[in-house]
Structure 1
Amino acid sequence: MSARIFALDLPFELISQIFVACLPLRRRVRPHRRRAPLNLASICSQWRAIAIATPELWASVYLEFHDIVAYDGIQTLLGFTEPGPLQEPFQDNTAALIHLWFTRAAGHTLSISLICTKNHRLPCDVLEAIEAFFPQWGRIELGIPMADFIAFNRIAGPFPSLRSLSIQVTDRLHPFHGFHIQSIFQSPQLQALQLRDKNSAHTFPNNPTAIPRTLTAFQIGLSSLTQLADLLGHLPRLSHLDLGTSYGAPLDGPSLSVSLDTLLVTNDRWLNGLIIPTRKHLDVWPSVETSLLTFLVHSQCHLTTLSLGYPSIYSTQPCCPIAWPRSLSFERCRSIFPTMVVSA
């Protein structure tokens, strides 16, 4: 007599909710037969039926394209019961994988990440595959060469559901100048925007006044307080700002009092010109600790998170400041030591 499996007695709706809870927290799902949702669909016929009938499981995909085949779950996805070696190169199946994956999403808003490593392009027909679902795009993240970006930009839209857009052109400096980027200007709900070149420098086509006024989160490189004042005046809803690649010395005007929840800066000289009492999250690479302290006291803010960045050349981790005035309040302080990466 076979043992009873109580998990199979749970209601359909409860099993479906449990399956969704197995997805990555940020919903960047990398297809693999040992990870959700593909592993869930391979346990038994009942679980497979539930997984296929749960559209939230198929609303996100994260694909990287390089020399190494990274996805061995395609047999399970396409209905084979015994995963084994692919009969054809994975690249030949990518468009079919994407189309079937998002067909199972059944109209839900989609999260799509397509990342190419250096000197690689997207496989044939991948852009055509995602174009078929453009009304459902909710988040788009691309790391692609210029040729693929030009092809992507031919998708005219409109994109009624797109809220987050990140594009890095992996083989050009200042790649967006002169381009009317359809996925920006045809997205009435766009809230978060990041545009980068091959060195990961934040960039933007033409003039910043063309930035959609709907943005709440933005990454950009600026060189002066005047530029920042113009940007903030144009974006009334902005609450999260990343000035990570702004290396200039913004000493060209009076201090700005602005309303932001999150500020990320690499050059801490920006702190000399800003007053942000509403700020909850600060990420900064301090060159002089006293300038950071002066800024925090002056702003009189309540920080939830303070992140201090230091180059990896430091042999020991600096201590989080514990002797700051009681008027400063923050719940968590962390020091970060990124590995230095030198572009070829």
Structure 2
Amino acid sequence: MTYKIMDIINTRRLGLIEKEDGASTVWRLPVEMLHQIFIHCLPNTDHLKVSPNMAPILLTRICRRWREIAMDMPGLWCRLFVKVRSDHEDWEQAALWYGLWLQRSQGLPLSLSIYSLPSEAAKLQNLLQPYTTQISSLLLLSENAAIAAEFPFEDLPGLQDLTLSWRDNYRNVTNFARSISRLPCALRNLKLKRITVNPFESLSTCSVWTNLTSVEIMIYQAHESLDLLNLCPNLSSLNIGLGVEVVQPLKACMHTNLQYLSIWSSTWVRYPPGDLFNALTLPSLRILEAYYVGWPHEDFKAFLARSTHPSESLIFGAGMTVTDEEQAEYRALIPSLEVKWRNYLV
């Protein structure tokens, strides 16, 4: 729908020039209606790219009135994808566009997706420096984890959502722990994508965990998932990947606030989830998803039985083997339970 609207705007752009007699129907549209049209013209993506052929920049090229209205709508300019370029001339031009875009946000909270190499950290900091207090959501992409060590997280007091993603597994845990320790206390949602934290103990002294309500993480040892839950008393959502089988006994752990749990493995983990569920009590759990893991049927039934708040959904994904008889027993235990199947990992 968005692209269809943009095609129409592109086709008629030259015809929608401001007329002195005000005869143009588009010219007479109320500002409030244009606001709604402009919002629906935005691409259906989390972060917008700077492009003269896409909204919101395209909207500023239609006519003078549209330009004035679009430039005075800070909500159009609050989401941005930034790619820090190594070429000096290319970056100067790009930085000019990024700066104009961010200025038009007029102080509203910003959601940014940034791709940068560690060598370009100075360019990135110079660009963001005037807007550090506005950044509430940040997706930081790079070839490796060194970018996180250089990023000034401590200068983002309003940061609530942070996603870190890079291509190689992070081995320099000391530097990574230093980065995590600099995260602001306002942070509530933390996603570490394609990152295996080993050992998790190196991050356990960071105070940021206390206030988190949502975490996505890949850890190496199953017992460290219990350590994570103990560190995050306010956690309501956990998406966790397990690395290897249990190598030490698991201590009992109760978490009273967790409502959503997604558990998965990059390889087939034959029995850790069974031991994990024996140790876990999650009285508020509503939704459980599982991918590429396995557990003893009776152990899992016992886990469900310990939930004082009946779970609503049990979602089995790729790599799972659960018989119809076992599903029936789960439903018998919790009559309101909805069992679903999903073939992909979210």
TM-score, normalization: structure 2? 0.71
Q: Which residue of 1 aligns with 2:294?
A: 287
Q: Which residue of 1 aligns with 2:233?
A: 236
**Given the superposition, is the C-alpha separation of residues 132 and 182 from structure 1 closer, same or farther in structure 2, using an over 3 Å criterion?**
farther
Q: Which residue of 2 aligns with 1:325?
A: 331
CA distance in 1, matches of 2:335, 2:308: 7
1:11 correspondence with 2:26:
no
CA distance in 1, matches of 2:153, 2:308: 46
User: Could you report, residue by residue, the CA deviation over 1:165-222 in whole angstroms, capped at 9, with x for unpaired residues?
Assistant: 22234456323414564675351211112345xx532466833131412111123426
Q: CA deviation at 1:298?
A: 4.5
1:245 correspondence with 2:218:
no
Moved more, 54-63 or 141-150: 141-150
Q: Which residue of 1 aligns with 2:281?
A: 275
Moved more, 14-23 or 185-194: 14-23
**Given the superposition, is the C-alpha separation of residues 184 and 336 from structure 1 closer, same or farther in structure 2, using an over 3 Å criterion?**
farther
Q: How does 1:171-190 map to 2 (within 5 A)?
A: 171=168, 173-178=170-175, 181=178, 184-185=181-182, 187-190=184-187
CA contact (8 A) 1:209 1:231 kept: no
Q: In structure 1, the residue corresponding to 2:342 is in which secondary structure?
A: strand
Q: Which has the larger radius of gyration?
A: 2
**Given the superposition, is the C-alpha separation of residues 287 and 171 from structure 1 closer, same or farther in structure 2, using an over 3 Å criterion?**
closer
- What one-letter code is carried by the residue in structure 2 that aligns with 1:232? L
Q: CA deviation at 1:92?
A: 4.7
TM-score, normalization: structure 1? 0.71
**Given the superposition, is the C-alpha separation of residues 108 and 250 from structure 1 closer, same or farther in structure 2, using an over 3 Å criterion?**
farther
Q: CA deviation at 1:49?
A: 1.7
Structure 2: gaps spanning 5 or more residues: 1-18, 266-272
Q: How does 1:32-51 map to 2 (within 5 A)?
A: 32-51=51-70
Find 1:206's aligned residue among 199, 202, 208: 202
CA contact (8 A) 1:264 1:282 kept: yes
- What one-letter code is carried by the residue in structure 2 that aligns with 1:194? K
Q: CA deviation at 1:54?
A: 0.7
**Given the superposition, is the C-alpha separation of residues 231 and 183 from structure 1 closer, same or farther in structure 2, using an over 3 Å criterion?**
closer
Q: CA deviation at 1:30?
A: 3.0
Q: In structure 2, the residue corresponding to 1:218 is in which secondary structure?
A: strand
CA distance in 1, matches of 2:102, 2:68: 16
Q: Which residue of 2 aligns with 1:103?
A: 103
1:56 correspondence with 2:56:
no
CA contact (8 A) 2:113 2:139 kept: yes
Q: In structure 1, the residue corresponding to 2:205 is in which secondary structure?
A: helix
**Given the superposition, is the C-alpha separation of residues 54 and 222 from structure 1 closer, same or farther in structure 2, using an over 3 Å criterion?**
same
CA distance in 1, matches of 2:313, 2:45: 19
> How many residue pairs end up in the alignment?
309
- What one-letter code is carried by the residue in structure 1 that aligns with 2:278? N
Q: CA deviation at 1:289?
A: 8.0
CA distance in 1, matches of 2:216, 2:236: 12
CA distance in 2, matches of 1:39, 1:279: 46
CA distance in 2, matches of 1:188, 1:256: 25
RMSD across aligned C-alpha pairs, in angstroms? Answer: 4.1
**Identity rate, percent:** 22
Q: Which residue of 1 aligns with 2:269?
A: none
Q: How does 1:144-163 map to 2 (within 5 A)?
A: 144=142, 145-152=144-151, 155=152, 157-163=154-160
Moved more, 1-10 or 136-145: 1-10
Q: How does 1:104-143 map to 2 (within 5 A)?
A: 104-115=104-115, 125-143=123-141
**Structure with the bigger percentage of helix:** 2
Q: In structure 1, the residue corresponding to 2:195 is in which secondary structure?
A: coil
Q: Which residue of 1 aligns with 2:8?
A: none
**Given the superposition, is the C-alpha separation of residues 94 and 3 from structure 1 closer, same or farther in structure 2, using an over 3 Å criterion?**
closer
CA distance in 2, matches of 1:101, 1:127: 16
- What one-letter code is carried by the residue in structure 2 that aligns with 1:98? Y
- What one-letter code is carried by the residue in structure 2 that aligns with 1:206? S
CA contact (8 A) 1:240 1:263 kept: yes
CA distance in 2, matches of 1:110, 1:132: 12
